[in-house]
Structure 1
Amino acid sequence: MDITTILGLVLGAGFIVWSILLGGQLGWYFDAPSVVVVVGGMFSGFLVAFPLKEVLNLGKIFGKTMKNNEFDIDQIITKIIELANVARREGLLALEEAVSEIKDDFLQKGVMLIVDGTDPELVKNILETEIENISARHSKGKSMMDTFGSLGPAFGMIGTLIGLVAMLQNLSDPSSIGPAMAVALITTFYGAILANLIFIPMAGKLALKSNEELLIRNVMIEGLLSIQAGENPRIIEEKLKVFLPPSVRKKVGTQEAKSDNG
């Protein structure tokens, strides 16, 4: 569970409610017609922008913002070094026994391609194509959140215009102008909150998670091709550690690799 997403939403909502209570009443900021215009308009615009099969995946997209990536890059590098040591001692065919212990489908596919004796260039092409497809799926999810983020303020403004038109129709009653103006502005308030507290930050979180996963996939490709080329595990370890920040590099590697270096 990615606690920062939930924490950010809770804190953001809390600070907004707190600021409202410091200067007024919470009830002033609730208006059912404004909710209908903004939320209903956003969802309607979303339906226009995306086909039904993508709309049905919306729950999964939200779920991804709440989850951490399944594997850390340092864990993946450690696993690749373990595989490199097995291949160096027992040969590439011995990696087939290690496949069942690999939880990641992408890494598992790469190992099987190597075990099957697939040409290195073909292995690289197959795995890079898989990465392109992963990136495309991630981009689609991010675009959904971006769409919501752009529709929120837009329908907030539409609701404000609707409220202003209604207010101008009743200018003969000066006492109704203030409350009517307040209601008209609430829709902009709703749209801005939904866009800037929820959907735009979620789009950014999805982009960050996508970049992290794609980096891990590229590390896998580099490691697998190095194993297939018969490179020394110590060399492979140093090549892959380049992808890590200096503070993490000392923690990576199998005990066997570390003893060899010693």
Structure 2
Amino acid sequence: MDKISVLGVILGLTAIVLGQWLEGGHVGSLLQFTAFLIVIGGTMGAVMIQTEMRHFIAGIKMLRWVFFPPAMDFRKVLNTLINWGNLARRNGLLGLENAMNSEKDPFVRRGLTMVVDGAEPETVRRSLELDIDAYEDQARAAVKIWESAGGYSPTFGILGAVLGLIHVMENLTDPAKLGAGIAVAFVATIYGVGAANLFLLPVANKLKHYIMLEVRRREMLAEGLFAIANGENPRQLENKLSGFLHH
């Protein structure tokens, strides 16, 4: 679990609630279902209108990365590539067949299959680069839903405020209903701005970071498989790929 993400959410919410309490307000006044419905429902609707269903579903699934990040062990990848390089030098490219059959990552399995089948090194590299480009395009389209939601959310907060004020104006002669309308107006703004800056935009930025790391991991694998297919010495391969460890 990514403890800093959990801590960040807790700290942000605590700061808002504690600030409300220190100002003498009631914490319960921040809980307004109508304001929540306007902001969250409106934001989700706007995002769904602009997004393809497959990207929307993929973006929702990627949310777990914020709290349970994907494994990104570049040292392990390098060691695996070196082992494959040693196998290929001892037993030939066909010696990687067992590694190919046991590999669960479709990207790596495809690369190993081309190497074992004797594809030209440049063909292996180019094919894997195309896969990387396709992955990055799809992943960034999925993350876009969180970035877009962060843009729409404050606007729907303002919309909720306007609706609340309309309710107030319609009931000027009934003081008992004024409080509820004013509460919805201000709380909707808090929900819109707070959701965007405390959750939606940070989520988008963190997911983009993990996508960048995954792209680097795949580039490392593509370069390593190219080197193996090209018959390069494992020691040279290690020197070439050690720069990826800085990521």
Q: What TM-score, normalized by structure 2, do the two folds share?
A: 0.89
* 2:21 is equivalent to residue 21 of structure 1: yes
Question: 1:11/1:111 Cα in 2 relative to 1: closer, same or farther (>3 Å)?
Answer: same
Question: 1:5 offset after TM fit, Å?
Answer: 2.6
* 2:239 is equivalent to residue 238 of structure 1: yes
Unaligned runs of 5+ in 1: 249-262
- 8 Å contact kept, 2:55–2:138: no
Match of 2:215 in 1: 214
CA distance in 2, matches of 1:100, 1:230: 21
Question: 1:176 offset after TM fit, Å?
Answer: 7.5
Question: 1:172/1:26 Cα in 2 relative to 1: closer, same or farther (>3 Å)?
Answer: same
Match of 2:3 in 1: 3
Percent of pairs identical after alignment? 33
Q: What TM-score, normalized by structure 1, do the two folds share?
A: 0.85
CA distance in 1, matches of 2:57, 2:85: 42
The one-letter code of the counterpart of 2:69 is: N
CA distance in 2, matches of 1:115, 1:233: 17
Question: 1:65 offset after TM fit, Å?
Answer: 2.8
CA distance in 1, matches of 2:36, 2:161: 12
Render the CA deviation track for 1:176-210: whole Å, top value 9, x for unaligned: 86775443111110011111111111100110000
In angstroms, what is the RMSD of aligned CA positions?
2.3
Question: 1:46/1:78 Cα in 2 relative to 1: closer, same or farther (>3 Å)?
Answer: same
Render the CA deviation track for 1:49-78: whole Å, top value 9, x for unaligned: 223444444531322333322341111011
- 8 Å contact kept, 1:141–1:206: no
Question: 1:103 offset after TM fit, Å?
Answer: 4.0
The one-letter code of the counterpart of 1:50 is: T
Render the CA deviation track for 1:110-146: whole Å, top value 9, x for unaligned: 1121110011222122111110111011111111101
Alignment of 1:1-262 (within 5 A): 1-23=1-23, 24-170=25-171, 180-245=181-246
* Paired residue secondary structure (2:245): coil
Question: 1:87/1:56 Cα in 2 relative to 1: closer, same or farther (>3 Å)?
Answer: closer
CA distance in 2, matches of 1:37, 1:232: 62
CA distance in 2, matches of 1:100, 1:11: 46
Question: 1:100 offset after TM fit, Å?
Answer: 3.7
- 8 Å contact kept, 1:138–1:206: no
* Paired residue secondary structure (2:220): helix
Render the CA deviation track for 1:150-177: whole Å, top value 9, x for unaligned: 1110100001111223334455678986
- 8 Å contact kept, 2:5–2:66: yes
Question: 1:15 offset after TM fit, Å?
Answer: 2.3
Worse-matched range after superposition: 175-184 or 90-99: 175-184
The one-letter code of the counterpart of 2:192 is: G
* Paired residue secondary structure (1:240): helix
The one-letter code of the counterpart of 1:13 is: L
Worse-matched range after superposition: 12-21 or 216-225: 12-21
* Paired residue secondary structure (1:69): coil
Unaligned runs of 5+ in 2: none
CA distance in 2, matches of 1:123, 1:74: 22
CA distance in 2, matches of 1:241, 1:26: 53
Question: 1:19 offset after TM fit, Å?
Answer: 1.9
CA distance in 2, matches of 1:70, 1:101: 19
